[in-house]
């Protein structure tokens, strides 16, 4: 979910980002469930499978990536790249069968052709419905389409994206605690479906939206349209419209996020110690680095502040830029920053899980001071639409020269 922190940049406050998009006007649209499997969560990663679904037709195509899937992606999607003789192939990890693949450019071109066919008489375009706790795959799709000069063709067909997770957050806030595909398919549709395949998730994403739309109509004491599929789908389109993010806004949002990515890259020296230890320590450090980047703070600013005011200067800066952040995170940030800039202090952490929390034990510093043991909430969340079987979602950290959608 999006961060609720209010940040200050250039002396101006920035309100929390809303979990849903600004919406689109009335029109003649067609809804298509859509999802992708990828080699990882970075925007530069490649597509392994792309799928689309409507009640009358579906599309699914595996893609042969140039690089291997990372370990998390292999477990999440149950597929792997192997070498047989002189050839690299994509295999299903469960059945060990070779999957029939195409190149990324061919799969994307075929997908656009299928979208044009399915669009039919929907003169105002297609709305792609996906389901993610963190919005990632729209940016990945746009980046891939841009790479092959297919973006303009895509924009002629597709009006925008609708994230079913955001819609469920609004519409199911009083009935369920988590809004993942797994939970919603179980509670709303009474289904238990394997979510390691993009085709299954694309189908579920649309079915859940249709179900929520029918519940909304029933609340209004209207016919639910079950006997007229076209009428029911039209009502679902009206139900979804306010949550749609137009393609142009998606492009603009990603361009703005790239600035945050660049700031995060400058902060890498501060958090490098935590990133190289283990996965749980990255979970501790990654949200802290993101807070600094979203507040417009870069490494050079922190360095100058330390030179002029030491810890007191850093604390003043942090409290001015992050006006609503909880005290625990303020102290964690100050600890990490002081550990980096003060040559007499070296961070030594031992982090262990404790019922969904991360226990952080801070050892004695070399100057004789001792920090108390603390607990902080981990940034784990329920599995998303591309979840593994793990009860908590593990968040990966980007490399210095890669971009990844910030984890909220």
Among residues of the chain, what percentage have pLDDT more than 90? 46
Please state, in angstroms and rounded to a whole number, the distance separating the CA atoms of residues 210 and 188: 11
What is the rounded average pLDDT for all residues in the chain?
79
* pLDDT value at residue 220: 55
Lowest mean pLDDT among 45-49, 111-115, 125-129, 320-324: 320-324
The predicted model gives 222-249 an average pLDDT of 78
- List, in sequence order, every residue forming a beta bridge with 163; answer none if it has no partner: 130
Q: At what angle do helices 164-171 and 198-219 cross, to 10 degrees?
A: 30
Q: Hey, what are 326's tokens?
A: 């909880």
What's the pLDDT band for 115 if we cut at 50, 70, 90?
Answer: very high
What's the pLDDT band for 276 if we cut at 50, 70, 90?
Answer: confident
Q: Which one, of 382, 337, 335, 390, lies nearest residue 360 by Cα?
A: 335
Cα 63 → chain centroid: 21
Lowest mean pLDDT among 63-77, 280-294, 317-331: 280-294
Please state, in angstroms and rounded to a whole number, the distance separating the CA atoms of residues 205 and 192: 14
pLDDT of residue 224 exceeding 50, the answer is no
Q: Do residues 127 and 25 lie in contact, with contact meaning Cβ atoms separated by under 8 Å? A: no
What's the pLDDT band for 228 if we cut at 50, 70, 90?
Answer: low
**Burial environment of residue 368 by CB neighbours within 10 A (0 to 12, 13 to 18, 19 or more):** exposed
* pLDDT value at residue 375: 37
The predicted model gives 118-145 an average pLDDT of 93
* pLDDT value at residue 217: 66
Q: What is the 3-state secondary structure (H, E, C) of the chain?
A: CCCCCCEEECCEEECCCCCCCCCCCCCCEEEEEEEEEECCCECCCCEEEEEEECCCCEEEEEECCCCCCCHHHHHHHCEEEEEECCEEEEEECCCCCECCEECHHHHHHHHHHHHHHHHCCCCCEEEEEECCCCCCHHHHHHHHHHHCCCHHHHHHHEEEEEEHHHHHHHHCCCCCCCCCHHHHHHHCCCCCCCCCCHHHHHHHHHHHHHHHHHHHHHHCCCCCCCCCHHHHHHHHHHHHHHHEEEHHHHHHHHHHHHHHHHHHHHCHHHHHHHHCCCHHHHHHHHHHHHHHHHCCCCHHHHHHHHHHHHHHHHHHHHHHHECCCCHHHHHHHHHHHHHHHCCCCCCCEEEEEECCEEEEEECCCCCCCCCCCEEEECCCCCCCCCCCCCCCCCCCCCCCCCCECCCC
The predicted model gives 350-357 an average pLDDT of 41
Please state, in angstroms and rounded to a whole number, the distance separating the CA atoms of residues 92 and 4: 39
The predicted model gives 353-378 an average pLDDT of 39
Q: Which one, of 96, 37, 107, lies nearest residue 69 by Cα?
A: 37
Q: Hey, what are 75's tokens?
A: 């477990």
Please state, in angstroms and rounded to a whole number, the distance separating the CA atoms of residues 33 and 164: 10
* pLDDT value at residue 219: 62
- List, in sequence order, every residue forming a beta bridge with 81; answer none if it has no partner: 90
Distances (CA, A) of 55 to 135, 210, 325: 24, 11, 45
* pLDDT value at residue 273: 80
The predicted model gives 357-365 an average pLDDT of 40
What's the pLDDT band for 284 if we cut at 50, 70, 90?
Answer: confident
**Burial environment of residue 110 by CB neighbours within 10 A (0 to 12, 13 to 18, 19 or more):** middle
Which has more pLDDT, 345 or 229? Answer: 345
- List, in sequence order, every residue forming a beta bridge with 47; answer none if it has no partner: 38
What's the pLDDT band for 271 if we cut at 50, 70, 90?
Answer: confident
| pLDDT tens digits along 372-403 | 333 333 333 333 333 333 333 333 344 444 44
Please state, in angstroms and rounded to a whole number, the distance separating the CA atoms of residues 326 and 376: 11
């Amino acid at each position: 979910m999006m961060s609720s922190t209010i940040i200050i940049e250039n002396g101006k406050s920035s309100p929390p980002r809303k979990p849903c998009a600004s919406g689109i006007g009335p029109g003649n649209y067609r809804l298509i469930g859509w999802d992708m499997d990828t080699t990882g969560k970075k925007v530069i990663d490649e597509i392994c499978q792309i799928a689309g679904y409507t009640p009358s037709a579906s599309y699914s195509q595996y893609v042969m990536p140039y690089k291997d899937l990372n370990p998390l992606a292999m477990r999440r999607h149950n597929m792997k790249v192997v070498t047989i003789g002189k050839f690299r192939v994509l295999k299903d990890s469960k059945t060990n069968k070779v999957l029939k693949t195409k190149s990324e450019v061919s799969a994307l071109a075929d997908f656009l052709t299928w979208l044009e066919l399915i669009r039919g008489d929907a003169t105002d375009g297609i709305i792609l419905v996906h389901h993610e706790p963190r919005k990632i795959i729209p940016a990945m799709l746009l980046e891939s389409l841009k790479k092959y000069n297919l973006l303009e063709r895509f924009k002629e067909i597709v009006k925008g994206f609708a994230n079913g997770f955001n819609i469920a957050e609004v519409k199911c806030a009083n009935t369920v605690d988590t809004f993942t595909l797994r939970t919603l398919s179980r509670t709303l549709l009474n289904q238990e479906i394997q979510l390691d395949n993009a085709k299954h998730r694309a189908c579920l994403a649309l079915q859940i939206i249709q179900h929520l739309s029918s519940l909304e109509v029933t609340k209004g004491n209207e016919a639910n349209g079950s006997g007229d599929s076209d009428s029911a789908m039209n009502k679902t389109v009206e139900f979804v419209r306010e949550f749609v993010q137009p393609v142009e806004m998606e492009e603009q949002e990603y361009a703005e996020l790239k600035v945050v990515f660049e700031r995060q890259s400058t902060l890498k020296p501060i958090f490098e110690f935590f990133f190289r230890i283990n996965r749980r320590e990255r979970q501790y450090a990654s949200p802290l680095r993101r807070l600094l980047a979203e507040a417009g703070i870069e490494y050079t600013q922190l360095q100058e502040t330390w030179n002029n005011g030491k810890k007191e200067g850093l604390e003043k800066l942090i409290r001015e830029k992050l006006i609503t952040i909880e005290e625990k995170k303020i102290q964690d940030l100050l600890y990490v920053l002081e550990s980096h800039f003060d040559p007499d202090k070296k961070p030594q952490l031992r982090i262990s899980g404790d019922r969904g929390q991360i226990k952080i034990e801070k050892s004695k510093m070399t100057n004789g001071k001792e920090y108390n043991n603390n607990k902080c909430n981990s940034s784990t969340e329920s599995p998303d639409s591309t979840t593994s079987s793990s009860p908590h979602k593990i968040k990966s950290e980007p490399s210095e020269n890669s971009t990844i959608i910030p984890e909220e």
